[in-house]
Structures are given as C-alpha cells and as structure tokens.
Amino acid sequence: MSMRTPLGKVRGLGSAKSGTEHFWQQRITALANVPLMFFLVVVVIATIGADYAQAKALLGSPFVAIGVLAAVVSGLVHMRLGMQVIIEDYIPNEAMKIGALYLNTFATVLIGIACVWAVAKLSFGA
Amino acid sequence: MSTSTTKSSRPLSPHLQIYKLTWTMVMSIIHRVTGAGLYFGTLLLAWWLVSAAIGPGAFATAKAVFGSFLGRLVLFGFTWALFHHMIGGVRHFIWDLGRGFGEAERFLLAKITLGGSLALTILTWIVAYAAN
Ligand code: HEM
C-alpha cells in the first residue's frame, strides 16, 4: 500500500496524450457531417415515393452508395467520440465506466459493419 | 488504494441546480441530448439500410413502420435533433475560432440555433411531402 495521495501519484506525469486527437477527430467529423447529413436527408426523401426496385437502384448507384458510406463512417466515428465524453462525464464508477466505453465501441463497430454490408449488397448483390 | 482524505476534502465545483437557467446553458444541454438522440437514430438508419439490402419484404416492413403516425413522429424528432445539433455544432466552430463569446452574441447564437433548426426541419418535411 502506498502512502502517496492520488494527486501526488499523477503529478508530473503529464496528460494521457490523446485529448488533442479526440478533439480534432470530433471537429473534423463534425465538419464532414454537415454536407454528408444534408446528402443523407435528400437520399432518404428520394426513396419515399420509390418502389423497391427504384430504391435499390438508387441506394446501390455509385455516387449515392459512396456518399451514404461516407456519411455512415463520419457519423459513427463522431458519435462514438461524443458518447465517450458523455460516459466519462456521468459514470463515476470505474468498472461501469470501462464497461460502457467498451459497449460504445462495440455498438459503433457493429452498426458500421451492418451499414457497410447493406450498401455493399445493394451495390453488388443480386 | 490510498485512503487519504484528499478526495473528500477537496472543494467541489457547484453543480447545475446552483446556477440560474440561461439560454446558452439550455442550448448546451440540448446539444448533448440531441447528440445522444442521434446516436440512437443511427440505429434506425442502419435498420433501414439493412432492410433494403435484405429484400422487398423487409423493406416494406421498415417503410410501414416509418410511415406510421408514430414512425413519422419519431422521424420528425430525428430531423429536428439532426438540424439542431448541426447548427449547434457550427456554433462550436465559431467559438473554436475565438469568436462569439460576448453576451449578445451568445444569445444571438442560441436564437439562431433554435430558430434555424425549426425552420430547416419544417422545410425538410414540406419538401418531403411535396416531392412525394
Ligand atoms: C450534422 C453535423 C454535426 C455537427 C456539425 C456536429 C458537431 C458536434 C460538435 C462540435 C460536438 C462537440 C461538442 C463539444 O465539444 O462540447 C458534437 C458532439 C456530439 N455529437 Fe455531433 N455533430 C454533428 C452530427 C452528429 C451526428 C449525426 C451524431 C450521431 C450520430 C452526433 C453525435 C454527437 C454526440 C453523441 C456528441 C457528444 C455530445 C456532448 O458531448 O455533449 N453528432 N457534435
């Protein structure tokens, strides 16, 4: 057991060195999200009146498919970083916090894979 | 673990209920709430894309759910959350550039965020209904 206080232990160690990267990734994806989310809204509106074949053709066309994937990836990276901050702010219990952070990453990756699979199938599938 | 008393005797910053509710504070809270809301909205987007990839039956089911009254209500909220969070994000960019910190400017930014998000949401839905 150490006689040192928690503050004494970390003094002089500096930061964890990843805060700036987090900040930048948050801002870069936020900036990218602005045009990409407008694009996504237009794509969704365009499919409302379409029948299945038309919707599939639209979502699988090169420009739309790539744009949707860009929106999905940028959105997911951004929301994962954002949710990380929310978790760190509100969950003081260390074990629960780490569990929630893992869950956040797993959820993001899973949603991403599902979306990529969907757009790939719409683009190349039968 | 250390059993020192630094943790308990350290002065704590006052929490929310101490402060008077202000416009900028409400906007900050809404930015976080809409961000979290969009997180779950992304699940809807994923479901929609996957249903389209699976086939006509699954896509029709998703369409029926989104087209129902409740579905439309959720999507309307989704649209508003997206635009509110988007303009709120642009407001963050302005702050990042070191501008917009004055009292009047902060209030103006709050008004633009709220008014702009409502206007864009209604416009989007008018376009959606008109185009279909
Ligand atoms: C449409 C353009 C968007 C812009 C310009 C934008 C901008 C931002 C910015 C600047 C922040 C950081 C706020 C801060 O530092 O306190 C943020 C946080 C966040 N964003 Fe976005 N965002 C956008 C879209 C999205 C989308 C699509 C999602 C979810 C799928 C999302 C989820 C989040 C979350 C969860 C946070 C954390 C909120 C917080 O810490 O209070 N954002 N956003």
* Structural domains of chain A, count: 1
Q: Which residues from A are below 8 Å from B113, CB to CB? A: none
Range of the domain at B108: 23-131
Q: Is-contact A78 A33, C-beta < 8 A? A: yes
Q: Which residues from B are below 8 Å from A83, CB to CB? A: 35-36, 39
Probe residue for ligand 1, chosen from A78, A84, A88 as the CB with the greatest number of ligand atoms within 8 Å = A78
What is the reported pLDDT for A9?
Answer: 84
B89 to A30: CB separation less than 8 angstroms, yes or no: yes
Question: Which residue among A6, A30, A83 sits closest to B7, beta carbon to beta carbon?
Answer: A6
How far is it, in rounded angstroms, from Cα A27 to Cα B93? 8
A11 within some domain: no
Partner B contacted by A35 (CB < 8 A): no
How far is it, in rounded angstroms, from Cα B35 to Cα B40? 9
How far is it, in rounded angstroms, from Cα A2 to Cα B42? 46
Structure-token pair, residue B72: 């439309």
Give pLDDT tens digits for A7-64: 888 888 877 778 889 999 999 999 999 999 999 999 999 999 999 999 999 999 999 9
Q: What is the mean pLDDT of residues B4-22?
A: 72
pLDDT over 70 for what percent of chain B? 92
Give pLDDT tens digits for A65-99: 999 999 999 999 999 999 999 999 999 999 999 99
B91 within some domain: yes
CB-based contacts of B39, cutoff 8 Å, min separation 6:
A79, A82, A83
Range of the domain at A52: 19-124
CATH number at residue B114: 1.20.1300.10
How far is it, in rounded angstroms, from Cα A66 to Cα A86? 30
| 3-state class (DSSP) for residue A58 | helix
pLDDT at B79 over 80: yes
Q: Which residues from A are below 8 Å from B6, CB to CB? A: 5-7
- Amino acid letter for position A22: H
What is the reported pLDDT for B8?
Answer: 63
- Please give the angle made by the CA atoms of A30, A31 and A33, to the nearest 5 degrees: 65
Please state, as a whole number, how many other Cβ atoms lie within 10 Å of the Cβ of residue B81: 21
Q: Is A30 in the pocket of ligand 1 (CB under 6 A)?
A: yes
> Does the predicted interface ipTM exceed a cut of 0.95?
no
How far is it, in rounded angstroms, from Cα B34 to Cα B40? 10
A36 within some domain: yes
What is the reported pLDDT for A4?
Answer: 86
Which residue would you say has higher pLDDT here, B19 or B47? B47
A114 within some domain: yes
Q: What is the mean pLDDT of residues A96-109?
A: 98
* Structural domains of chain B, count: 1
CATH number at residue A97: 1.20.1300.10
Radius of gyration of chain A measured on its C-alpha atoms: 20
Q: Is A74 in the pocket of ligand 1 (CB under 6 A)?
A: no
pTM of the predicted structure, to 2 decimals: 0.90
A31 within some domain: yes
